[in-house]
Structure 1
Amino acid sequence: MARMFRVLGFWCLVIALMAFAGHMTEFSLLFFFQAVAFFFLGYLNFTERTYILMFWAYMILTFLGFSYWTIFEMDVPF
């Protein structure tokens, strides 16, 4: 399971580099931070249950943040 967090870190790094190349600075910084966090967590050798709980917590926070941003911060013309 620890290897999966390193894989998540790799893909976050790829997305961050593509966003940086596309001049989306804030987006790329967000994914650079996530890549570092995933790589760091991947080398801590927690139990599988701990990794699963951390992933669920990450998914819940991401969903709440995305929902907040799309509802309250985006300018959507009606």
Structure 2
Amino acid sequence: MARMYRVLGFWTLAIGLMALAGDMKEMALLFFFQTALFIFLGYMNLSERTYILMFWGYMILSFIGFTYWSYFKLEV
């Protein structure tokens, strides 16, 4: 399970680099922060249950944040 967090770190790094190339600096910084967090968590060697609970917390927080941003902050 720890290896999966390193894979998530790789993909967030790829997305961050593409955002940086597309001149979306705020998005790139967000994904670079997530990359550092995922790589750090990937080398902590926690239990599988802890990794799953942290991933669920991450998903809930990101979906709430995305819904808030798209509903209240995005100008249509």
What TM bracket, shorter-length normalisation? over 0.9
TM-score scaled by length of structure 2: 0.99
Unaligned runs of 5+ in 1: none
Counterpart CA distance in 1 for 2:36 and 2:53 is 19
User: Kindly, what percent of the aligned residue pairs are identical?
Assistant: 67
Q: Specify the alignment match of 1:37 in structure 2.
A: 37
Counterpart CA distance in 2 for 1:67 and 1:55 is 18
Alignment of 1:1-78 (within 5 A): 1-76=1-76
**Divergent runs of 4+, >4 A:** none
What is the DSSP-based 3-state SS (H/G/I as helix, E as strand, rest coil) of the residue aligned with 2:16?
helix
Q: Rg: which structure is higher?
A: 1
**RMSD over aligned Cα, in angstroms?**
0.3
